[in-house]
Amino acid sequence: MSGNGNAAAKAEENSPKMRVIRVGTRKSQLARIQTDSVVAVLKSLYPGLQFEIVAMSTTGDKILDTALSKIGEKSLFTKELEHALEKNEVDLVVHSLKDLPTVLPPGFTIGAVCKRENPYDAVVFHPKFVGKTLETLPEKSVVGTSSLRRAAQLQRKFPHLEFKSIRGNLNTRLRKLDEFQEFSAIILAAAGLQRMGWQHRVGQILPPEDCMYAVGQGALGVEVRAKDQDILDLVSVLHDPETLLRCIAERAFLRHLEGGCSVPVAVHTAMKDGQLYLTGGVWSLDGSDSMQETMQATICVTAQQDDGPEDDPQLVGITARNIPRQAQLAAENLGISLASLLLNKGAKNILDVARQLNDAH
């Protein structure tokens, strides 16, 4: 090696190494796109850090022949990633927020809730039905969805259609739709199609009166070790205050109902003039029985008062020290109050029957 080469090697040895932050993600194309978007923001905010993406398969990615609601595992798309987080193999994990249970395993927290994209569901039609809507599809057309929530609401609204489970990542589902004659249309989250650059396939966006969305749909959550203050501080800048408060209300509603993917529960939230509006509903599996209500709460997100350190800053699994605590508590209380109202009106019976029927099939 030349003298110059030696000098360069020595200088490199002595220069401070760039700190590497390892980011866990699922292997699917959509998960990678979502993770890349979060990492791009972090890179622009922290040019002195290096980010390395670690992709892995989860249980939910591997079990493709069973409807999600039948597997009965709450952390289908998160367990393996959390295991890597626990073993310090990664420092943070990017998830679709709707995949994260409302009660996280001990030692973990959601350190950031990123700005929500379109939370609604979209209909993608088989090429021969392009230009149609769910309403104008022929009698007995089969519509694919992996979600009890969508099937229950849409069966009620469009009784002339049949709904059948379809599994796989977005690419797989679209291929099943296009290449086989089994499905006339499939229902997918609009946000996923948007992130994949497939907006041109959207034939219809479903308004809340047709189909309310899943808790947290359209938002990304960044999960970290709850005691890793360094990483918590690092990702907290990603919090979008409005998305965060809407999702705290939604998650509190779901947690208080004790819902999950094995029962049809859906929400709709909006922030307007300092008011947070939450509509929540529960359905029987066939959609024939349902109950929904709307409540609102005043939320002040402007003034950050110093609350002092709390023993447990988490609300429904989320830590956001940089957002006013009072606003977060008001959002959580709104979710709990709406769930209590529905439970008092008999929602528990609808959910219990739905759960039993789902388990029996």
- For residue 199, give Cα distances in angstroms to 6, 122, 169, 170: 54, 10, 17, 13
Cβ atoms of 98 and 214 within 8 Å: the answer is yes
Nearest to 261 by CA among 154, 152, 164, 176: 152
Question: Tokens in use for 66?
Answer: 């069973």
Q: What is the phi-psi region of residue 267: left when phi exceeds 0, alpha when psi lies from -120 to 50, beta otherwise?
A: beta
Cα 10 to chain centroid distance, Å, stands at 47
SS3 278: strand
Q: Are 203 and 186 in contact (CB under 8 A)?
A: no
Report the DSSP beta bridge partners of residue 139. Answer: none
Backbone angles phi, psi at 116, to 5 degrees: -75, 140
CA dihedral 300, 306, 312, 316 (to 10 degrees): 20
Classify burial at 311, counting beta carbons within 10 Å of its beta carbon; exposed 0-12, middle 13-18, buried 19 or more: exposed
Name the catalytic one among 91, 99, 121, 228: 99
Residue the block writes with tokens 């978007």 = 37
Is the distance from CB of 146 to CB of 68 less than 8 angstroms? yes
Known catalytic membership, residue 99: yes
CA–CA separation, 301 and 164 (whole Å): 42
Q: Which of 269, 288, 287, 290 is CA-nearest to residue 278? A: 269
For the annotated catalytic residues, the residue numbers are 99
